[in-house]
């Protein structure tokens, strides 16, 4: 079985008696949480991601843009939604207007708090979680970017039984400890016990 469940990986591994060290995306933490603001449709056409010191922008379909400002993440809290009309929403609009012309009438449609899947040391955790080699873990903050490469490497390992050299430093054992029932890194699991 391949466990590729993002930020829920730690919770699921408790069913195998293991605790996986991951950042806690359920609490305010600029490493684990990020504001994502979606605009209403705009007369701007971009077909690539734009990364800048002030604002990250990507197309979101239907003329909408998805905005991220990493320096605002210190205020991101999954338990406290922010208003599109509040200071965070207005700051996104100020930055958007500085970056693009034809955005005077831009509006923020919604702001969500993205919750990242991130192993505690910031590096991917890829490999079998036990000697029996029945559960293979794939946990990475960069999963979206690395998915094509990771898919090939993991398929190679699972199919051949040989670990690709590129995965040598990313075994999950560095982040695993026996689960004691007192987890600090994630909520308790409510799943049936593993067979």
Domain tally, the chain: 2
Confidence bin at 67 (pLDDT 50/70/90) = very high
Instruction: Tell me if residue 37 falls in helix, strand or coil.
Output: strand
Q: What is the pLDDT of residues 7-63, one digit of tens each?
A: 899 999 999 999 999 988 888 888 889 999 999 999 988 999 999 999 999 999 999
Q: Residue 40: which CATH number? A: 3.30.70
pLDDT in the model for residue 195: 29
Residue 66 reports pLDDT greater than 80: yes
The Cα 59–Cα 62 span in angstroms is 9
Same-domain pairing of 147 and 174: yes
The Cα 148–Cα 171 span in angstroms is 19
Structural contact between residues 115 and 24, judged by C-beta atoms closer than 8 angstroms: no
Same-domain pairing of 14 and 79: no
Q: Which residue has the tokens 């590129």?
A: 166
- Looking at 94, 115, 136, the residue that finishes a domain is 115
Closest CA to 73 of 82, 64, 62, 84: 82
Q: What is the mean pLDDT of residues 168-177?
A: 95
């Amino acid at each position: 079985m391949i466990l590729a469940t993002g930020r829920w990986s730690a919770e699921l591994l408790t069913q195998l008696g293991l605790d996986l060290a991951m950042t806690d995306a359920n609490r305010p933490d600029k490493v684990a949480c990020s504001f994502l603001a979606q605009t209403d449709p705009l007369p701007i056409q971009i077909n690539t991601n734009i990364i800048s010191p002030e604002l990250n922008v990507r197309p979101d379909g239907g003329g909408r843009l998805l905005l991220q400002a990493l320096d605002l993440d210190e205020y991101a809290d999954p338990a406290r939604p922010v208003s599109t009309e509040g200071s965070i929403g207005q700051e996104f609009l100020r930055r958007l207007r500085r970056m693009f012309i034809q955005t005077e009438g831009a509006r923020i449609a919604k702001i969500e708090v993205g919750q990242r899947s991130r192993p505690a040391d910031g590096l991917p955790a890829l490999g079998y979680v036990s000697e029996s080699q029945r559960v293979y873990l794939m946990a990475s903050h960069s999963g979206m970017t690395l998915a094509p490469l990771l898919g090939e490497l993991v398929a190679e390992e699972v199919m051949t039984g040989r670990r690709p050299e590129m995965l040598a430093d990313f075994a999950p054992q560095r982040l695993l400890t026996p689960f004691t029932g007192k987890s600090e890194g994630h909520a308790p699991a409510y799943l049936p016990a593993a067979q």
